Chain A
């Protein structure tokens, strides 16, 4: 018998249909993977099971947990279930914990509430649980506050809260999306072990097929509130019978065609970074004392030749974004020099930087945050033209914007729209249009596809590849995602704690990593091919 049974679940919020006839089940000790792109309704499915839906939501159908009809249960019955029989882990560890309560209080609270244990007994149990999730008492006493912990550590606390009473069902909603790949692998291992130890059912929600393939026994694929396909994970993904499943799987493994690859040719380098270091002053610990300076970037040198595509890969906080900002002259190095087209960029005034800025553009991660919502596309895409010596006329300017939009696959009529009228993928195209309008020699792209759904991501990677081939633009891709590096770059630099620890041809470094940091990244990176192969082997 199933632990959780969802039948014909439909959900509306206001007049919007969120879910339509969704069905899925989780057996005790089973891992069910719920996969879908953004807006597919996977989080809403989880919140329905918890009955923590927004106010205006109306659910119909049947949800049965352990013999209890969830949709008709009283709030009192639900409170008894939540935290005791059903635990939940959320996506955003940075905001999921109450900042003014200690981690001990927060883990013990649910224990005391459900078991009526004394404070001391509950704290004892909370202590054991924190030990179990990898937060030993020596370094992480119960009196720690959330802000004293890192993102990965906070997610462990959230897991401790969810699993404190050994629930029968654990719901994990994108539990690793906000973490880097190495932390992701650790958290997934922890979840897998906890599920096995306690014979919990796990409903794992993710947008990442590779993650789900590694973890789940069975899989349910959701699209726009409807179940597309469901079944055994390995069979579903190896056979790929449903067209949408095939589309998702192919997009996850997509490698754009780039017939001409640029090795490190010995000609004049476009960009030279020479032993650049960036220190941030330490935190003031008292009126007269400061903590020692934090070295974000430590003696980094690199060079990029024209047309070359280079990946800068590292875990979050390794200093890669700081380095990118210095290359873009948005931040000043503490020491070292950066040369662009042979000229020193470091220490130049904004006016002297104009020619360099024309040949060096940027694409950011967040397609929603990188446009001023109050301006129209024409003005936004034309913004870099500000650096031209000769100001173009209005007609010339519109002509240039139209051309750039055309190059990224958008319509020239789009220039009179506001950014919110575009989808996430289209906005990333706008970002790229803005970056190429001055015909730059180098584009620095900071995690340009990590906020996009897989199918959109594949299209944007294709666009990057096409522009590289057609216009000969060199790229510096900043990413923590090895699939991106593998798909589109010639060379890769591995960054770890401010230093470049390994460099070389992308295929070689990622195929045979030498340094420990590179090995950790490669090992942890989810990969659909490998995951399917591994699961098939396990099942024989």
Chain B
């Protein structure tokens, strides 16, 4: 068990270190001078030189990387050029929108998908299964931002139940804030739920064909009991894998969805920073998102070990 944990942890740390080098290198090999890129063509040579010094661009490459990476570890992410505030403050402020959004979406998709997957698998080939999987098939095909537009049209423009976009901030009341996150969360969650439901169903069906399911039924357990007690836990591994992957999808999805709903979140921040060439913000936020993905993958790996005793004793 400890060997497995240590191995996964080591892999995560190495991946994280490599990822930081990649992020650093990509921005390093950018065509042209980053300071010039950020300031635009009209800036004077003095302005550019000033920014180069400020960004530490005149120092040797390795030193710059170490300085940057060391800063990351101390949560010192530098100063945003366009906003003129420390990046960490920006991130903190935007995270207050993006994190609840991603978590609500993840929870929604899981709550919707797992029961549908169970329902479909237990009624394989019957009408209920066909309808549920038809809907899931459709859900997988819907682009989330288009779905978001349709939601806005129906719930904000027509029914006027929720705001069409924008975010009032948590200060103006939790209920108000949640209301503006509701449509974005649904738009993010439904396509993911469709994928998750399909995976849950097929994982369950695969498990239901296993010999030990027959052994359990030969003990006299009814089909439904076997499904819950024996099949579900064994089907968890592919489901967990997809949940982990979905987290990365959700993060990327927030970039588009936050743009559709004009939400001041991390995704919108990084998108704007990219278009405004605020490379310091881009570097930091991308690194943060990558770290989040790696952390979630580590959690998924660890939960495999909780589900599957074979992983606990092997390796």
Contacts and interface: CB of A to CB of B under 8 A. Distances in A.
Q: Do A and B bind each other?
A: yes
Interface of A: 50, 52, 75-76, 79-84, 87-88, 90, 92, 95-101, 106, 109-110, 113-114, 145, 147-148, 158, 161-162, 283-287
Nearest to A114: B220
9 contacts: A75-B222, A79-B222, A82-B218, A87-B218, A90-B218, A98-B230, A145-B313, A147-B309, A287-B10
Nearest to A55: B125
B216 A98 contact: yes
B217 A101 contact: no
Contacts of A158: 215
B309 A145 contact: yes
Contacts of A97: 212, 215
Contact of A99 (B2, B7, B222, B309): B309
A95 B2 contact: no
Give me the 8 closest cross-chain CB pairs, A-B, nearest first: A83-B220, A110-B219, A83-B219, A82-B220, A95-B211, A98-B212, A88-B218, A145-B309
B49 to A, nearest CB: 49
A128 B284 CA distance: 62
Contacts of A101: 230
A133 to B, nearest CB: 15
A170 to B, nearest CB: 11
Contacts of B212: 95-99
B42 interface: no
A481 to B, nearest CB: 25
B6 interface: yes
B19 interface: no
Contact of B210 (A81, A95, A161): A95
Contact of A283 (B230, B307, B315): B315
Interface string B1-32: 01100110010000000000000000000000
B145 to A, nearest CB: 39
Given A109-B221, A287-B3, A100 B309 contact: yes
Contact of A145 (B215, B216, B223, B310): B310
Interface string B157-180: 000000000000000000000000
B3 A285 contact: yes
B308 interface: yes
B2 A286 contact: yes
Contacts of B122: none
Interface of B: 2-3, 6-7, 10, 210-212, 214-223, 225, 229-230, 233-234, 307-310, 313-315
B220 A100 contact: no
* A84, A100, A114, A158, most chain B CB atoms within 10 A: A100
Most buried by A among B10, B219, B229: B219
A52 B213 CA distance: 11
B2 A96 contact: no
A98 B208 CA distance: 11
A87 B10 CA distance: 48
Given A95-B210, A100-B234, A286-B3, A90 B215 contact: yes
Given A97-B215, A109-B216, A287-B3, 13 more contacts: A79-B220, A79-B221, A82-B218, A82-B220, A95-B210, A96-B215, A97-B212, A99-B309, A100-B307, A113-B221, A147-B310, A148-B313, A283-B314
Nearest to B230: A98
B234 A82 contact: no
Contacts of A148: 313
Contacts of B221: 79, 83, 109-110, 113
A99 B230 contact: no
Contacts of B230: 98, 101
Nearest to A144: B309
User: For A50, A79, A80, A81, which residue has the most chain B Cβ atoms within 10 angstroms?
Assistant: A79
A84 B313 CA distance: 34
A457 to B, nearest CB: 26
Contacts of B315: 283-284
Nearest to A102: B309
A157 to B, nearest CB: 10
A210 to B, nearest CB: 26
A95 B213 CA distance: 10
Contacts of B211: 90, 92, 95-96
A52 B309 contact: no
Contacts of A114: 220
Nearest to B222: A79
Contacts of B223: 75
A52 B217 CA distance: 8
A110 B6 contact: no
Best-buried of A75, A83, A98, A285 by chain B (most CB within 10 Å)? A98
Contacts of A285: 3
A87 B3 CA distance: 40
Nearest to B213: A98
B236 to A, nearest CB: 9
A148 B310 CA distance: 8
